[in-house]
Structure 1
Amino acid sequence: MMVLACSSEAGSPDTGAGGGGQVTGGGAPSTGGTDAPGSGGGATTGGSTGSESSTGGGSSTGSASSTGGGGTGTGGAEPPVGNPSPGCGKAGRPANGKVTVDNDHIYTFPESYDGSTPLPLLMGFHACGNPIDQFINLTRGSAFETEYVRAVGRSSDAGGCWNYNNDIAKVLRIHEDLMDNYCIDMDRVFATGHSSGAQMIVQILTHKSDADQLNFRAVAPVAASDYGALQVPMPAMYIQGQNDTVRGGDGASTVARFRAANMCQTESTPYSEVMGCQSSGKTVNPGCISYSGCSEPTIWCSHDDPAYSNTSHGVPCFAIQAMYDFFADVP
């Protein structure tokens, strides 16, 4: 197996023993789901740094663009331009490619952003005790930085944990601001989050009206929890350590919720597109599988990265590249 190195850097831990703050406002997590993933194969990345051992993937070559139809002559079909948001055409790239409102949100815009061509959007949700820009840092140097608009918000809780009842209005407001004032492909809005931030994403999916308004095309939560039945089908790459000591397990019950929403069979096959990486002197096995018969792609990566003070609760070294590749492959 080809293995590339992935570096880690210490930083602010997710609050609680070993780093695991919970999102509040959504009910107690329930249990369920027992099938465990098999081993993974396939591609990896080097490391962006972030919060304590919340390592991200390195740079990517980018997704392959689709080509237009055939035909003769010098023309040829133009590539699809996406579904432009109302903000397209209002203004060009913000100064220095960044918009910051202290303690509320940060947006970043790649150099290719011209205010008229809709780009995909990545919304990132930080973990408890981590800075607002956790996922700006984790995706630095990756294709997310060069191809996506990135948006991160700050939870309202003093300890930095997401509270669904308190924070959903802010999330919806940020989304509305992006659609109304910037040029976003409304069909290519993606979300990722870590720990408390991942729990926020799962809770959004248990509330149909909020999920419909945000209209995520796919999600990639890292170390979330089970908050009940999901109300919409959703392409998902769910990532959690095999023995996440903060969550007390591998996330099987949360995965079962995605399987149910996406009408998956219990059978699965190894998802070999994700390869191993190096973390804390260990060769990490991503342990990814793909479920069969799903209405939407459903991937579970049950990894053995010892990151986050050996709690396996961090963002593993393969995650950022794996998310990018997964999002690029979603139709």
Structure 2
Amino acid sequence: MRNIILVGIVVFLGALLAFTFFIGPPVDPNLLKPAAYDYPSPTINSCSANTKTGLAGISDNIKTAEGATYNLRTPSNYNNTLTHPLIVVYAPAGTSASKSERHTHLTKKATEAGFIIAYAKNLRMSVKAIEKLASIPTDIQKKWCIDSNRIYYTGHSDGGSIANALTFLPSIINKPTAIAPSAAGMDTESLKQYACPTPLPVMVFHNSDDSHFEGFGKQAADWWANCNHCSTELTTPDEYGCSTYKNCPASSKTVYCEGLGGHSTWPNKNAMLIDFFKRSK
């Protein structure tokens, strides 16, 4: 973990400035509104309404006992007796939960697909910070009706590194079902310090013009492919710039997506990301 933290410190000010001044293209406000989910019928109640008291729609500035802060969105017609898959989005350096939501604009697509989605406020990279951020999914499960077997992590820059670290750090007990890190600051040298976690589906996003972490995405994807018992051979990139590692077990599909743009640019493949999580159970 020491090398990961050192990398984080070296690039922290640059990444902080990048995300402080990055505005990006305007975001359609409708993409930030929770959508209704078409619940399947018949349904089987899985939670007691008396025990899951989290509100439907928008909940902001929720703080865990460990000190992590997050915003949460449910489907607008949230049913607190039915289990939902959960996505946790970890933020770039110096980025608030609300700014991370605007940056990724995942809310509408996630909620209309039946997910509950949470946006974590960034904490400066350290082991202690990562342990605090690990408390978010646990806190959510106490308040909202969540399927504990369908918890997914994504995030950009520092957030992508955190999504990775929460998966392979041995001190983190509760592991995600699948991850989709973007622009993460982890290369072969930092990752090879750690033992492979239990294989899981992984989709790595990285931009070709990322000057903060040039080439890190492919290196990380290769590490995950090895951990997931895949071949080193990739399929030809599809129209979205995504290649799948060949011969992966069905339970640990590994995908590398490379797009245009610099470090600050979110890959904007939200439909693909949501579909990847939907298929990872």
State the TM-score, normalized to the length of structure 2: 0.75
Pick from 282, 288, 292: which aligns with 2:246?
A: 292
Shift of 1:95: 6.3
1:315 aligned residue? 266
Cα contact 1:20–1:246 (8 A) shared by 2: no
The answer to whether the 8 A contact 2:54-2:143 is kept is no
How many residue pairs match? The answer is 251
Residue 179 of structure 1 is matched in structure 2 by 141
Cα–Cα, structure 1 residues 196 and 54, in superposed 2: closer, same or farther, change >3 Å?
A: farther
Change in 2 beyond 3 A, CA 1:177/1:17: closer
The 3-state SS of whatever aligns with 1:142 is helix
Whose relative contact order is higher, 1 or 2, with alpha carbons under 8 Å and at least 6 apart?
1
The verdict on how the C-alpha distance between 1:62 and 1:255 changes in structure 2, with shifts beyond 3 A counting, is farther
Contact 1:238 1:299 in 2 (8 A): yes
Counterpart code for 1:174 = I
Q: CA 1:251 to 1:179, structure 2 compared with 1: closer, same or farther past 3 Å?
A: same
Q: Is the Cα contact below 8 Å between 2:98 and 2:119 reproduced in 1?
A: yes
CA distance in 2, matches of 1:206, 1:263: 15
Distance 1:63 1:256, change over 3 A: farther
Shift of 1:107: 1.7
Partners of 1:191 and 1:314 in 2: how far apart? 18
Contact map agreement 1:56 1:320 (CA 8 A) in 2: no
Larger fraction in helix = 2
Distance 1:325 1:192 in 2: 13
Which stretch of structure 1 is more off in the superposition, 131-140 or 120-129? 131-140
- 1:324 paired with 2:274, answer yes
What does residue 25 of structure 1 align with? none
Once the two structures are superposed, residues 110-131 of structure 1 have per-residue CA deviations (whole angstroms, 9 ceiling, x without a partner) of: 2231211111111010101322
Structure 2, unpaired ranges of 5+: 1-10
Which residue of structure 2 aligns with residue 4 of structure 1? none
For residues 16 and 174 of structure 1, what CA distance do their matches in structure 2 show?
26
Contact 2:94 2:122 in 1 (8 A): no
How far residue 15 of structure 1 moved from its aligned partner, in angstroms, is 5.0
What residue is the counterpart of 1:53 in the other structure? 24
Cα shift at 1:181: 2.2
Task: Give the superposition deviation at 1:297.
Answer: 0.9
Q: Residues 134 and 271 (structure 1 numbering): CA distance in 2 closer, same or farther, change over 3 Å? A: farther
For 1:245, the equivalent position in structure 2 comes to 211
Between Structure 1 and Structure 2, whose CA radius of gyration is higher? 1
Q: Distance in 1 between matches of 2:205 and 2:23?
A: 17
**Paired letter, 1:90:** T
1:112 maps to which of 65, 72, 77: 77
Q: Residue by residue, what CA displacement relative to the aligned partner does 1:160-206 show, whole Å, maximum 9, x if unpaired?
A: xx32x121332232222111222111111111000011011112222
The structural deviation recorded for 1:106 is: 1.5
Q: How many angstroms apart in 2 are the aligned matches of 1:253 and 1:117?
A: 39
The question of whether the paired residues in 2 share the 8 Å contact of 1:222 and 1:239 is answered with yes
Give how far 1:54 is off: 8.3
Give the secondary structure class of the aligned counterpart of 1:203: helix
CA distance, structure 2, for counterparts of residue 142 and residue 172 of structure 1 = 24
Counterparts of 2:162 and 2:224, CA distance in 1: 15
Unaligned stretches of 5+ residues in structure 1: 1-13, 22-49, 67-76, 276-285
TM-score, normalised to structure 1's length?
Answer: 0.65
Identity percentage over the alignment?
A: 19
Q: Where does residue 258 of structure 2 map in the other structure?
A: 302
- The answer as to 2:89 corresponding to 1:124 is yes
Other structure's SS at 1:255 match: helix
Root-mean-square deviation over aligned CA pairs? 3.4
Q: Distance in 1 between matches of 2:169 and 2:23?
A: 31
